[in-house]
Chain A
Amino acid sequence: MTKQVHLAAHFPGVNNTTVWSDPAAGSHIEFGSFVRFAEAAERGKFDFLFLAEGLRLREQNGAIYDLDVVGRPDTFTVLAALAAVTEHLGLAGTINSTFNEPYEVARQFASLDHLSGGRAAWNVVTSWDAFTGENFRRGGFLAQDQRYERARTFLQTVTELLDSWRGDEVVADQQSGVFLADPDAGRFAHSDAHFDIAGRFDVPRSPQGRPVVFQAGDSEEGREFAASAADAIFSRHGTKEAGQAFYTDVKGRLEKYGRRREDLLILPAATFVIGDTDAEAAELAAEVRKQQVSGQTALRKLEEVWNRDLSGYDPDGPLPEVDPLVGEHTVAKGRASVRMNRDPLAVARDWREQAEAKGLSIRELMIEVSSRQNFIGSAATVAEQIDDLVQSDASDGFILVPHLTPGGLDPFVDAVVPLLQERGVYRTEYPGTTLRDNLGLPPLGAPA
Chain B
Amino acid sequence: MSTHLHLAVALDGAGWHPAAWREPGARPTELLTPRYWVDLVQEAERGLLDLVTIEDGLSLQSTDRSGPDGRTDQVRGRLDAVQVAARVAPLTRSIGLVPTAVVTHTEPFHLSKAIATLDYVSTGRAGVRVKVSGSPAEAAHFGRRTLPELGSLDPADPQTQAALRELFDEAADWVEVLRRLWDSWEDDAEIRDVATGRFVDREKLHYIDFEGRSFSVKGPSITPRPPQGQPVVAALAHQAIPFELVGRSADLGFVTPADRADAGRVVGEVRAAQQAAGRAGETVHVWGDLVVFLDDDAATARARRERLDETAGAAYTSDALVFTGTPAELADLLTDWAAAGLTGYRLRPAALPHDLRQVTTGLVPELQRRGLFRTAYEADTLRGLLGLPRPANRYATV
Q: CB distance A103 to B22 under 8 Å? A: no
**CA of A124 to CA of B34 in the docked complex: distance in angstroms?**
26
**Which chain B residues numbered 171 to 229 have a C-beta less than 8 Å away from chain A?**
185, 190, 192, 194, 197-202, 205, 214-224
Within 8 Å of chain B (Cβ to Cβ): is A419? no
**Which chain B residues numbered 80 to 123 have a C-beta less than 8 Å away from chain A?**
80, 82-84, 86-91, 105-107, 109-110, 113-114, 116-118, 120-121, 123
Within 8 Å of chain B (Cβ to Cβ): is A29? yes
Within 8 Å of chain A (Cβ to Cβ): is B71? yes
Within 8 Å of chain A (Cβ to Cβ): is B276? no
Choose one: B22, B34, B58; the contact of A104 (CB below 8 Å).
B58
Annotate B13-50 by CB proximity to A: 1 below 8 A, 0 otherwise.
00000000110001011011110001000000000000
- Flag the segment in B136-144, B234-242, B301-309, B371-379 that touches A: B136-144
Assuming the A-B contacts A174-B26, A179-B74, are A29 and B140 also in contact, with contact meaning beta carbons closer than 8 angstroms in the complex? no
Q: CB distance A72 to B222 under 8 Å? A: yes
Contacts of A186 in B (CB 8 A): 60, 77
Within 8 Å of chain B (Cβ to Cβ): is A172? yes
13 contacts between A and B (CB under 8 A): A31-B90, A31-B123, A66-B200, A70-B190, A71-B190, A76-B82, A77-B113, A77-B117, A114-B34, A137-B215, A196-B143, A200-B137, A201-B60
B142 to chain A, nearest CB (A): 5
A275 to chain B, nearest CB (A): 24
Q: How many residues of B contact A (CB 8 A)?
A: 80
Assuming the A-B contacts A103-B142, A107-B80, A186-B60, are A81 and B89 also in contact, with contact meaning beta carbons closer than 8 angstroms in the complex? yes
Within 8 Å of chain B (Cβ to Cβ): is A181? yes
**6 closest residue pairs by CB, A with B:** A172-B28, A77-B117, A111-B80, A134-B218, A80-B83, A80-B86
Within 8 Å of chain B (Cβ to Cβ): is A168? no
**Which chain A residues numbered 83 to 101 have a C-beta less than 8 Å away from chain B?**
83-85, 99-101
Q: CB distance B105 to A104 under 8 Å? A: yes
**Which chain A residues numbered 45 to 77 have a C-beta less than 8 Å away from chain B?**
54-57, 63-64, 66-74, 76-77
Q: CB distance B120 to A55 under 8 Å? A: no
A191 to chain B, nearest CB (A): 9
A370 to chain B, nearest CB (A): 16
Known contacts A78-B86, A203-B78; can you find 8 more A-B pairs with CB under 8 A?
A: A29-B224, A30-B120, A78-B121, A112-B80, A115-B84, A135-B109, A136-B109, A178-B72
Q: CB distance A108 to B83 under 8 Å? A: yes
Within 8 Å of chain B (Cβ to Cβ): is A177? yes
B328 to chain A, nearest CB (A): 31
**CA of A195 to CA of B221 in the docked complex: distance in angstroms?**
28
**CA of A66 to CA of B61 in the docked complex: distance in angstroms?**
46
Q: CB distance A202 to B57 under 8 Å? A: yes
Annotate A179-209 by CB proximity to B: 1 below 8 A, 0 otherwise.
1111111100000000111111111101000
> What is the chain A residue whose CB lies nearest that of B34?
A115
B34 to chain A, nearest CB (A): 5
Contacts of B75 in A (CB 8 A): 179
Assuming the A-B contacts A76-B82, A80-B83, A197-B140, are A21 and B29 also in contact, with contact meaning beta carbons closer than 8 angstroms in the complex? no
Q: CB distance B68 to A200 under 8 Å? A: yes
Within 8 Å of chain A (Cβ to Cβ): is B70? yes
Within 8 Å of chain A (Cβ to Cβ): is B265? no
Within 8 Å of chain B (Cβ to Cβ): is A123? no
Contacts of B105 in A (CB 8 A): 101, 104
Contacts of B199 in A (CB 8 A): 20, 66-70
B128 to chain A, nearest CB (A): 12
Q: CB distance B72 to A29 under 8 Å? A: no
Residues of chain A having any CB pair with chain B under 8 Å: 20-21, 29-31, 35, 54-57, 63-64, 66-74, 76-78, 80-81, 83-85, 99-101, 103-104, 107-108, 110-112, 114-117, 134-137, 139, 165, 170, 172, 174, 177-186, 195-204, 206, 294-297
Within 8 Å of chain A (Cβ to Cβ): is B396? no
Contacts of B67 in A (CB 8 A): 199
A188 to chain B, nearest CB (A): 9
Within 8 Å of chain A (Cβ to Cβ): is B300? no
Contacts of A31 in B (CB 8 A): 90, 120-121, 123
**CA of A80 to CA of B233 in the docked complex: distance in angstroms?**
21
Q: CB distance A202 to B59 under 8 Å? A: yes
Contacts of B59 in A (CB 8 A): 199-200, 202
A289 to chain B, nearest CB (A): 15
Q: CB distance B137 to A199 under 8 Å? A: yes
Q: CB distance B202 to A297 under 8 Å? A: no
Q: CB distance B223 to A203 under 8 Å? A: no
Assuming the A-B contacts A170-B29, A202-B57, are A80 and B223 also in contact, with contact meaning beta carbons closer than 8 angstroms in the complex? no
A25 to chain B, nearest CB (A): 8
Assuming the A-B contacts A136-B109, A183-B70, A200-B60, are A170 and B77 also in contact, with contact meaning beta carbons closer than 8 angstroms in the complex? yes
> What is the chain A residue whose CB lies nearest that of B91?
A84
A402 to chain B, nearest CB (A): 17
Annotate B248-279 by CB proximity to A: 1 below 8 A, 0 otherwise.
00000000000000000000000000000000
Within 8 Å of chain A (Cβ to Cβ): is B298? no
